[in-house]
Structure 1
């Protein structure tokens, strides 16, 4: 009975989120309330369990970075970067999009992709406001790039950290194994974007002339606060990159950075809390509880085992199946609990495969499928949800299907490119 309640609740809530019949936060919290009231989840499972509970690391990482970005926004640095990017691209919206996409993809390889989205989105909104163009293509393109770019390294996407822990693969092995395909996928994305958003790059020449005439240095209104914020942000980034050395979770690093910046900046609570996306944080909480119910009742585990058992112990079919199933499932449920559930099964599969290269390819298939699959729908990855929350607050909401129509195309083509890459690199050469 608990399994039926968990599945039906998730399907209904997902339907409400996808059709936008009610606000997505209401749907997520309502679904969480149902599984809690029905006894499928108790307070321990929902709030304290690492396997089924709310991922507080994600919630507090987002909160800490939102506070830091809120304070940083008061310095004028985002307007500075916006004007700089527009001038370097000579006011061409398409060239600006490609420049910001490349910056996002590279940054996401070395920072959490949610953090990258939080930093890039304000710049994007300012550029689009200056040029009087719709920001939707830019925001969608950047979040797609963040999910692809974050795949390249051990620290770029949370599922990779889980895979690294289970498999024993190092930062350098991730970079060597996944870096080449990520470069190809980013290039593919840059080719796709002008087609996906054709007709969206018209701009008034007078607006372009106005932007090109601006002096970006004049945008910095509080240089002392910028200096302090820059130092704190650099330390936070260092904490992210040196995770294996300092042994502090990214959420702890973000909260420490936010606390230090609040102290040294003297910013009032109403100012630095104004930038926090409270609805986004509550949406994540509800979504985690519903997904936790699927994990607790064994639904996700059963799906993963069915996929694994279908391969019959053969390496190449196993790799391709793990890649495809991971891409589909990660598009509909958060890829963190999915990878946490699937990684022990992949580990078991590797024990039956004598060739180390073939066994390693299984881990890359899981990472590529889970990370690229995050682009499939608007709720497939944390970065997607955050970006949609930012868009809504800026007055230019992006609907579930508006994102998913573009994301599904990108997911299909990126996964299709990843399959021959794994075959050629690990089974042919």
Structure 2
């Protein structure tokens, strides 16, 4: 092992330990790790800003930025408070029923939108509902983040890693629906049952607060109807653009930025009101993570890991699928699943090309492992990082270990159920 590779691994592991233990702010750990990778020559300016394989994923960064701006404008209309009151009244103020509603809504939306977009829309509603009911917001936000990762697994556009997998494997929207949606429906039901157990202390019913909720009129929460109409029309156009992006040839990030620009033009709000809700810390944190993982890609570390695994497996694709599933779940809990899949997808494609139809299920192993494994830790998936950023800004900080103690349980059970599904459907 060269000195440079040893240093890169030490930097990455050191930064991750700092993020996990929260000894320093996660943004500081991420950017310092990225700076250290530059100093040892593991990457350079071209690799950071322009490389598709090892640079910052600008599609992710600008997708987040565009949707944060749209949500920030929509917040000015009172729409989220309207949704909060409506949801609480439908559940008659019962916290568990409210969580079930929000989890199902999040999972379903995440199947047809990017899961980051979904949590950006649902998290503000959740904060308002919990405030009204005096319920702790943290369990609800964690449950929604995990539901977005589960629901997003079922379609091509539901989770960013799936877009990478589809591109590498030449897979269609229908391929994901047919192969993954049946399992995800089962996993969602299991997850709802887990929520009842894991977050049981959050379901305290307050009759007085529930009665006050039932007396509220949700329509009175809408402040600017004209701006609301403009915002909803732009949001609908953006969501439609996400769905048809393979046809129109525009990446989701471009669609989001065009929508944000159009809404800013139509809203005519003060810049401060538009940009206050942008999670700049989250965007920079992602940039630092991409740089660190990209440095490992540059040095060939990720390729070496994949090639070693392929040599061990040989042509037994049933065993390969199970190991890829479990290995991807473990790796995605340590590093964000987007750069992980970007590094592993070419190796998976080589295996599939060599094995033909017998190796095709490896794509579903990778998708399930990366997407569901993203629930394992606070930094495993983009949606987790965004939710934690929103929670912190609103006075409900979620520590790395608070998220992870629930995430490990959910990941272990969902991955455990995925193993027999893959084996029975493709290899029995």
TM-score higher than 0.5: yes
Could you list the per-position Cα deviations for residues 252-305 of structure 1 after superposition, in whole angstroms to 9, with x for gaps in the alignment? Answer: 111110000000011111111100111111111111111111111111121222
1:159 and 1:317 mapped to 2: Cα distance?
22
| Alignment partner of 1:10 out of 2, 9, 12 | 12
Paired residue for 1:190?
Answer: 192
Paired residue for 1:379?
Answer: 379
Paired residue for 1:361?
Answer: 361
Give the CA RMSD over aligned residues: 1.0
User: Residues 307 and 325 of structure 1 are in contact (CA less than 8 Å); yes or no, is this contact kept in structure 2?
Assistant: no
Paired residue for 1:57?
Answer: 59
2:394 and 2:309 mapped to 1: Cα distance?
41
Paired residue for 1:307?
Answer: 309
Paired residue for 1:121?
Answer: 123
2:14 and 2:282 mapped to 1: Cα distance?
20
1:315 and 1:16 mapped to 2: Cα distance?
37
Q: C-alpha displacement at 1:240, in angstroms?
A: 0.4
In the alignment, is residue 411 of structure 1 matched against residue 417 of structure 2? no
1:95 and 1:313 mapped to 2: Cα distance?
48
Paired residue for 1:159?
Answer: 161
Q: Which runs of 5+ in 1 are unaligned?
A: none
Q: Larger deviation: 239-248 or 296-305?
A: 296-305
Q: C-alpha displacement at 1:425, in angstroms?
A: 1.1
TM-score, normalised to structure 1, is 0.98
Q: Classify the secondary structure of the residue corresponding to 2:250.
A: coil
Q: Larger deviation: 336-345 or 10-19?
A: 336-345
1:258 and 1:326 mapped to 2: Cα distance?
34
Paired residue for 1:296?
Answer: 298
Q: C-alpha displacement at 1:310, in angstroms?
A: 1.6
How many residue pairs match? The answer is 426
User: Residues 42 and 296 of structure 2 are in contact (CA less than 8 Å); yes or no, is this contact kept in structure 1?
Assistant: no
Paired residue for 1:77?
Answer: 79
Could you list the per-position Cα deviations for residues 199-244 of structure 1 after superposition, in whole angstroms to 9, with x for gaps in the alignment? Answer: 1111321111101111111111111100000110000001100011
Paired residue for 2:90?
Answer: 88
1:308 and 1:166 mapped to 2: Cα distance?
18
Paired residue for 1:323?
Answer: 325
Q: Classify the secondary structure of the residue corresponding to 1:199.
A: helix
Q: C-alpha displacement at 1:167, in angstroms?
A: 1.4
Q: C-alpha displacement at 1:56, in angstroms?
A: 1.1
Paired residue for 2:420?
Answer: 420
1:281 and 1:341 mapped to 2: Cα distance?
21
User: Residues 54 and 285 of structure 1 are in contact (CA less than 8 Å); yes or no, is this contact kept in structure 2?
Assistant: yes
2:259 and 2:234 mapped to 1: Cα distance?
6
Paired residue for 1:389?
Answer: 389
Q: Larger deviation: 397-406 or 161-170?
A: 161-170
| Alignment partner of 1:349 out of 326, 351, 362 | 351
1:81 and 1:306 mapped to 2: Cα distance?
51
2:33 and 2:343 mapped to 1: Cα distance?
22
Q: Larger deviation: 419-428 or 99-108?
A: 419-428
Could you list the per-position Cα deviations for residues 136-184 of structure 1 after superposition, in whole angstroms to 9, with x for gaps in the alignment? Answer: 1100000000001001001111111111112112101110100001101
User: Residues 377 and 403 of structure 1 are in contact (CA less than 8 Å); yes or no, is this contact kept in structure 2?
Assistant: yes
Q: C-alpha displacement at 1:345, in angstroms?
A: 1.9
User: Residues 325 and 365 of structure 2 are in contact (CA less than 8 Å); yes or no, is this contact kept in structure 1?
Assistant: yes
User: Residues 68 and 258 of structure 1 are in contact (CA less than 8 Å); yes or no, is this contact kept in structure 2?
Assistant: yes
Paired residue for 2:37?
Answer: 35
Could you list the per-position Cα deviations for residues 67-107 of structure 1 after superposition, in whole angstroms to 9, with x for gaps in the alignment? Answer: 10000001111011111111111110000001000000000
User: Residues 113 and 383 of structure 1 are in contact (CA less than 8 Å); yes or no, is this contact kept in structure 2?
Assistant: yes
Q: C-alpha displacement at 1:33, in angstroms?
A: 1.0
1:332 and 1:26 mapped to 2: Cα distance?
18
